[in-house]
């Protein structure tokens, strides 16, 4: 039996009071499939939104915002259903979903008010935007945990958890896209062929009291220092991949997730640029860091270091150094193609941040089993 084969009267009853025990497995499956749809809509909307803001002035009812809103409405409906019925969640999953959904909804009027007061918000790194990212992150973690406890070990759970961490990785990397779009938009402006409409360039320049010149456009396209990008990729994106590798428990999780993310970015790059939107510098350097994460776990498992706490700490420290070095080398190589400005001197600090997070994650888990590694 599946939910879709039930008559509409049963759908209404399930929506109000929850499924019977016989209907519960099918309901759980449907709920998490709908969460997948919600996250896809939110991701597509946010991806389009970033490119949109490098071309036109902000508009509350812009198509990317509306697409994201459809995903958000579906997510809110699912959150309400799961909280009321307990379908597919325990206390931890419920609390994470409620906290994430609530924070995201709270951030929306705060962000709108911020724009009303301050005008154009020219950086993805603003506090009001951070609330949106954090809310989405908590929401994804709650859904991932709920799916994990509701699904038997096996391929379906592995794939489902991998998808959840894919969305988490995309969410973490979203603010760094400002530099990836910005570096190419600045290059286009300096070449005399700006992607942004004149009204957007003038608005951005007026905010800092300047004419439309190189200083004003640099402030718009690359508003944060060059140390932010490498520190964020190592300390946040790579730590996300470490967490994914730990909680999914399959070999090459980090590499596969990163390859999937880069494939997604390449596809939307073609779609957006092909329809007249600004392009971005796709962060192919991430693949080097992701491979280093997986190699560190693989060596730790093969050497037996993963079986003891000191060994896992050692894997974390050496793995963080290897990952930061690999990602730095990748960024250096990508600079020949297209990459945001990078201050390489921050990489040792980024490695320390990654090592601290890696240790915090790895000391709280059980040693990797042979089945998990297989």
Structure tokens at 356: 């601290």
Indicate the pLDDT class of residue 306, thresholds 50, 70 and 90: confident
In this predicted structure, the answer to whether residue 300 has a pLDDT above a threshold of 60 is yes
d(CA 178, CA 229): 10
Q: Given this model, what pLDDT does residue 215 score?
A: 92
pLDDT over 90 for what percent of the chain?
Answer: 63
Calculate mean pLDDT across residues 81-94: 93
In this predicted structure, the answer to whether residue 137 has a pLDDT above a threshold of 80 is yes
> For the chain, percent helix, then strand, then coil, each to nearest 5?
75, 0, 25
CB-based contact 271:185 (threshold 8 Å):
no
Specify burial of residue 345 (Cβ count, 10 A radius: 0-12, 13-18, 19+).
exposed
CB-based contact 295:322 (threshold 8 Å):
yes
Report the largest interatomic distance among the alpha carbons of the chain, rounded to a whole angstrom.
68
CB-based contact 359:316 (threshold 8 Å):
yes
The DSSP symbol for 369 reads P
In this predicted structure, the answer to whether residue 120 has a pLDDT above a threshold of 60 is no
In this predicted structure, the answer to whether residue 50 has a pLDDT above a threshold of 50 is yes
Calculate mean pLDDT across residues 23-34: 89
Q: Given this model, what pLDDT does residue 368 score?
A: 44
Instruction: Supply the pTM of this predicted model.
Output: 0.92
Calculate mean pLDDT across residues 287-295: 98
In this predicted structure, the answer to whether residue 32 has a pLDDT above a threshold of 70 is yes
């Amino acid at each position: 039996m599946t939910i879709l084969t039930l008559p509409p009267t049963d759908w209404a009853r399930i929506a109000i009071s929850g499924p019977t025990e016989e209907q519960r497995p099918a309901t759980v499956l449907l709920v998490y499939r709908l969460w997948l749809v919600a996250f896809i809509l939110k991701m597509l909307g946010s991806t389009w939104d970033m490119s949109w803001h490098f071309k036109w002035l902000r508009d509350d009812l812009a198509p990317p915002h509306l697409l994201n809103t459809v995903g958000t409405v579906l997510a809110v409906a699912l959150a309400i259903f799961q909280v009321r019925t307990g379908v597919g969640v325990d206390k931890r999953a419920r609390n994470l979903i409620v906290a994430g959904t609530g924070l995201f909804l709270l951030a929306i009027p705060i962000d709108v008010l911020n724009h009303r007061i301050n005008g154009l918000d020219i950086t993805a790194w603003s506090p009001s935007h951070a609330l949106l990212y954090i809310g989405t992150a908590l929401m994804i973690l709650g859904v991932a945990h709920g799916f994990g406890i509701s699904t038997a070990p096996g391929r379906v759970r592995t794939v489902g958890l991998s998808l959840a961490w894919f969305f988490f990785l995309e969410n973490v990397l979203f603010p760094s896209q400002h530099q990836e779009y910005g570096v190419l938009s600045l290059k286009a402006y300096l070449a005399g062929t700006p992607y942004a409409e004149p009204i957007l360039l003038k608005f951005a320049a007026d905010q800092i009291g300047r004419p439309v010149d190189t200083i004003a456009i640099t402030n718009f396209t690359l508003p944060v220092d060059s140390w932010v990008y490498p520190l964020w990729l190592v300390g946040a994106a790579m730590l996300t991949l470490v967490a994914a590798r730990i909680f999914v428990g399959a070999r090459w999780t980090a590499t596969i997730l990163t390859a999937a993310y880069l494939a997604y970015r390449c596809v939307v790059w073609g779609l957006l640029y092909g329809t007249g939107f600004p392009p971005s510098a796709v962060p192919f350097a991430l693949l080097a860091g992701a491979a280093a994460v997986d190699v560190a776990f693989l060596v730790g498992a093969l050497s037996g270091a993963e079986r003891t706490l000191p060994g896992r700490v050692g894997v974390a420290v050496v793995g963080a150094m290897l990952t930061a070095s690999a990602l730095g080398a990748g960024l250096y190589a990508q600079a020949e193609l297209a990459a945001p400005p990078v201050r390489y001197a921050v990489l040792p600090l980024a490695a320390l941040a990654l090592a601290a997070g890696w240790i915090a994650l790895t000391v709280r888990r059980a040693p990797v089993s042979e089945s998990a590694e297989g």
